[in-house]
Amino acid sequence: MAAATTTASAFKWPWQYDFPPFFTIQKSLNTKDKQLEAWARLVIDYAQHNKIYSLDIAEATTSELFNNQKLNRRLSTDGVNTVLQYLEQKKLIEFTDNGRTRFHIFWRRPDVWANMIYQWAVENAFINTPLTLYEITHGDDTTNESFHNLEREILMKALTCLEEQRRAQLMNIGGDNEGVKFI
């Protein structure tokens, strides 16, 4: 997360971020819905801007995302949990552990990543050729692609999507030579 905040200076915060009541979960249901929607958009936009694929709750709570130092206002732990519940309900995040301490942020859904990766494979003639997972996310051929440095878990979800659509075949997952063959 620390690495992400360095580039956050260029991030354009929404007007709500400088509005003190935004950091207190509202009682009125109508207002609360709009507030949570605004928080959800902020979390997703922030994650996309800084290419954050997963976050630790403790880390997130203390980060600038839920903590406006200029206003000296921060969203409480309960508030953060409420926002995360809303995001989970909208299928924009997914907790990775039973303790619900860490979560994936889907600023692009796995099926969207899947289509982008498959499109790249087609355009670069990688169909019917085995590729390593490292090659897809860290290879020289993907430096200009938006899925470069994509987290392994999200990559696996995307590739599983492709496998279900019979557009890819996963190879030796969990073994030494993990890879995928696009069909």
Partner 1 sequence: MGGIFSKKEKSPKSAPVSDQDNAILALKTQRDKMKQMIKRKENCLEKERQLAKQLIKDGRKDRALLLLKKKRYQEKIIDQTLNHLSKIEQMVNDLEFAEVQQRVTDGLRQGNEALKKMNQLFDIDEIDRIMEETKEAAEYQEEISNMLSGQLSNTDVSDVEKELEDLLAAEWGTVQLPEAPSHELPEAERERQKEKEKPRREKIALEA
- Given a contact cutoff of 8 angstroms between Cβ atoms, the answer to whether 133 and 152 are in contact is yes
Output the smallest distance, CB 166 to partner 1, in A.
5
Residue 61 tokens, joined: 């709570």
Given 122, 129, 141, 149, the residue binding partner 1 (CB under 8 A): 129
Output the smallest distance, CB 176 to partner 1, in A.
7
Nearest C-alpha neighbor of 54 from the set 22, 97, 25, 7: 97
Task: Report the chain's C-alpha Rg in angstroms.
Answer: 19
Residue 173 near partner 1 by CB under 8 A: no
Output the smallest distance, CB 180 to partner 1, in A.
9
**Strand-pair partners of 104:** 54, 94
Q: For residue 100, which amino acid is it?
A: R
Q: What residues numbered 142-171 form the site for partner 1, per CB under 8 A? A: 163-164, 166, 168-169, 171
Given 92, 93, 131, 150, the residue binding partner 1 (CB under 8 A): 131
The values of phi and psi at residue 151, to 5°, are -65, 145
Nearest C-alpha neighbor of 37 from the set 95, 104, 82: 82
Output the smallest distance, CB 156 to partner 1, in A.
16
Q: For residue 105, which amino acid is it?
A: I
Q: Judged by CB, which is closer to partner 1: 69, or 177? A: 177
List contacts with partner 1 (CB under 8 A): 129-132, 134-135, 138, 163-164, 166, 168-169, 171-172, 176-179, 181, 183
